[in-house]
Structure 1
Amino acid sequence: MNSAVEHIATDQPPDEAKARDLDYGWQSGNQIELLENGEAYFPRVFDAMRAAQREILLETFILFEDKVGHELQGILIEAAQRGVKVVVSLDGFGCGELSAAFLKTLADAGVMVQMFDPASKTLGIRTNWFRRLHRKIVVVDAEVAFIGGINFSADHLGDFGPEAKQDYSVQVTGPAVADLHHFALAQSGRQVRTRRGWRRRQQRPSPWATDSGEGLVRLIYRDNLQHRDDIEEAYIYALSKAKKRAVIANAYFFPGYRLLREIRNAARRGVQVQLIMQGQPDVLLAKLAARMLYDYLLKDGVVIHEYCQRPLHGKVALVDDDWSTVGSSNLDPLSLALNLEANVLIRDRAFNQQLYDSLATLSKNHCQVIPAKDKPWLWLWRLTVGFLVFHVMRHFPALTGWLPAHKPRLKPFESQAHD
């Protein structure tokens, strides 16, 4: 009898080979709600799971055995015991500290658990650092979906303390849920059925919808096959269309030159461009890397804020009055060149304004403005160093991925071995 816990060892789960050429187009008539931090996200997701009647699909980079993780565990067990099909996909690095007992409890209740690219520690250190399953997606009964940057861990709640993360997700209902459901099924290796409201796209749709109606949503994702640059290209295309304003709030900001140039060009033609970066980082290197790029952007009028209240973990952006994106992808080499990521693009004025108001409150009350410097040699030096560091960071993980420590492998979970 096969265990309910499986391990996925390749860059994509098995059915991705069948679905990797699919492009998800714009879907109209959706309802989108911004969920800020764990205080808004966890109750909404948990309520949807408690009400599930047929199916729960969950992907997350991090799941901890804390109060959030244990509450999630209980909800999933209860759902599985009442006959709901529950499929949970976890990353082998982000969830590498989960105990066998925690996983066994889920498996024994009938939850199908999958671990993406697991690896044993070497000298007490996890070495499977790169090409991670970094997506955060939940789909319940193919009727409601959640996607964003929030993991299932207590550090997304304010009562965690000074290290609590500032982050965003969205709840989606409407026709776009069919795309999210289809995608989550394909990634989890489950059987994919063509559903009403979903169709195969033979041509890749534009990151900018032809109509500017309300409730338009499009799923985009990044893999290591045919969709390597989709998220980065969506940012570049949207910025090239910007006429009035652009706001990017991103935890780990170290994009390539093409995206940097598009940010700068938007500011040069009079667009009000604002970046919100980490001022109190959970990874110091990320802050230092981002600051290498500041002078290049500041000299052309980009306004840069550093959020200093607590670590920023968000991955959101908006352009003009109706284009927005929310998802798991940072704008750094790991997310743009290696990890498995997913975002939604949104054309909706009400949502755009809601996100803008949230970010404006953040920048006004909890950020410091980075002043522009007047020494050309200084920004030129930093840009040169930044360019070199960027290419080292962008290509070093790919080279490291060839080392034996990262070779993907199948490792079936044997529940009885941990009894």
Structure 2
Amino acid sequence: MAENPFALLRTYPSFFSSLFADLESAKSSIRVQMYCVEAGATAERFRKILSAKAQSGLPVEIMYDSVGSISTPSYYFDEMAKAGVAVKEYHPVNPRRVREGAYSIKKLFRRNHRKLIIIDSDIYYLGGMNIGDRFHDWEDLMVRGAGGPVAELEKSFDRVWHKTPRWPSLQRYHFKSDSPIMVCDCRPQLNNYPIKRLYISAIKKAKKRIWIALAYFVPRRNIMKALSQAVNRGVDVRVVVPDVSDIKLVNLASWPVIRRLVKKGVRIFRFENRMMHSKLAIIDDDWMTVGTANLDSMSFYWNLELNLVVRDKQIVKTVAEYFEDYQHESREVMLGDAEARPLPMRLLGRMLYYYSSWIL
């Protein structure tokens, strides 16, 4: 068992340092689901470690998303496979790479947005961090845990792994969970939208505060209504979003939401100077969620996502300090800021928001 059963990593250098050390120390298995593996020095070290472990006889599995890793040449993963790593590509964009099953537009939109790594059926990493050089300066969050919810995370891993027809899969692993941490497994094809229901339920029950920090904040009307109603109940509602976004269309589409929520009394802050890629929400003093899901239609209705829900006052207190750090590096949006935007940009934002269910 690892020394710290639950730790939050805020920087990519700390994540990579911890991850590579754990991977090199792996004794029985390595399992990876990663939205983006981007070719470069970091990804090359990642590949070499996984390949070496597979060549030593360790069962190693990796699933990457075809869209998220689209810039990475196929030979990168071919080299892993040659070394004995079991490799799967989630919903290939190129129809010629589909080995089984029909190619469809629905599959093109449905992506595996998870960033999950499980080592020795004990240590796990889950959060917003991908594998690549360009992410090093981003602000993000990744959980490094041990034990606890790892059994549920492995079940979630298996459910996706065994339904993705790429390479022969390994045997299933079954373990008992001894953790109060809940795993929120979002598979939209089941039409139950657990991430959406999780957020709405928590927001409606909030009594003191709702603090949210998200990379992509384009919520639908039901979320906006719940946040507005919380303000009317006297709840302190704050949202931090990036001012500098890696997806410019999302930034534009968020402005109609920001304008409406600021008018309702929600405090919105724009994180400045660098990309903020966290996916975090804090409700009152004893509830928080962290993981891969954003408050947008892609996370709710299309993507495979994975979040942890933690009901621990000490952990919530620590994470609240992280949120306050975000806020201190942000500029609060005033209503005048939203209304002073040029008319063409406001119209474009409204159009993008209207179509965001399909394009964002």
Q: Indicate the TM-score class for this superposition, using the shorter chain for normalisation.
A: 0.7 to 0.9
1:386 Cα offset (Å): 7.0
Q: Check the 8 A contact 1:228/1:336 in 2, yes or no.
A: no
Change (3 A) 1:330 1:362: same
Deviation of 1:100 after TM superposition, in Å, equals 3.2
CA distance in 2, matches of 1:336, 1:140: 28
- Secondary structure in 1 aligned to 2:355? helix
Structure 1 Cα separation of the partners of residues 42 and 172 of structure 2: 32
Structure holding more helix per residue: 2
Render the CA deviation track for 1:338-394: whole Å, top value 9, x for unaligned: 111111111111211111111201211x21110134999x9xxx9999777544221
- Select 1:195's aligned residue among 161, 167, 174: 174
Q: Compute the TM-score of the two structures, normalised by the length of structure 2.
A: 0.86
Distance in 2 (CA, whole Å) between partners of 1:260 and 1:192 is 44
> Within 5 Å, which residues of 2 pair with 1:57-136?
57-120=31-94, 130-136=109-115
* Bigger RCO of structures 1 and 2 (CA < 8 A, at least 6 apart): 1
What does residue range 194-233 of structure 1 map to in structure 2 within 5 Å? 195-197=174-176, 216-226=180-190, 228-233=192-197
Paired residues in the alignment total: 338
Separation (CA, whole Å) in 1 of partners of 2:35 and 2:221:
28
Name the structure 1 match of 2:166. Answer: none
Whether contact under 8 Å (2:36, 2:68) holds in the other structure is: yes
Match of 1:260 in 2: 224
CA RMSD of aligned residues (A): 2.7
Q: Percent identity at matched positions?
A: 27
Is 1:178 the counterpart of 2:151 in the alignment? yes
Distance 1:276-1:216 versus aligned 2 partners, 3 A rule: same
SS of residue matched to 2:126: strand
Query: Which residue of 2 is the match for residue 334 of structure 1?
Result: 298
Q: 1:48 to 1:338 in 2, by over 3 A?
A: same
Residue 7 of structure 2 is matched in structure 1 by 33
SS in 1 for 2:335: coil
Any idea what SS the aligned residue of 2:121 has?
Answer: coil
Shift of 1:227: 5.0
TM-score, normalised on structure 1? 0.75
Asked if 2 retains the 8 angstrom alpha-carbon contact of 1:176 and 1:217, the reply is yes
User: Please, which of 137, 140, 158 is the counterpart of residue 119 of structure 2?
Assistant: 140
Does residue 369 in structure 1 map to residue 332 in structure 2?
A: yes
Structure 1 residues 130, 178: closer, same or farther in 2, change over 3 A? Answer: same
Matched position secondary structure for 1:179: helix
Is the 2:31–2:60 contact (alpha carbons within 8 Å) kept by the matching residues of 1? Answer: yes
Q: Is contact 2:272–2:330 with CA below 8 Å preserved after alignment?
A: yes
| 116 and 375 in structure 1: CA distance in 2 versus 1, 3 angstrom threshold | closer
Q: Which residue of 1 aligns with 2:355?
A: 392
Structure 1 unaligned spans of 5+? 1-29, 159-164, 200-214, 398-419
Counterpart of 1:44 (choices 18, 24, 39) is 18
SS at match of 2:112: coil
Distance 1:332 1:40 in 2: 28
Matched, 1:357 2:336: no
Q: Which residue matches 2:102?
A: none
Asked whether the 8 Å contact 2:243–2:271 carries over to 1, the reply is yes
Q: Give 1:321 shift.
A: 1.0
Q: Distance in 2 between the 1:48 and 1:103 partners? A: 21
**Please, which runs of 5 or more residues in structure 2 have no aligned partner?**
97-104, 163-168
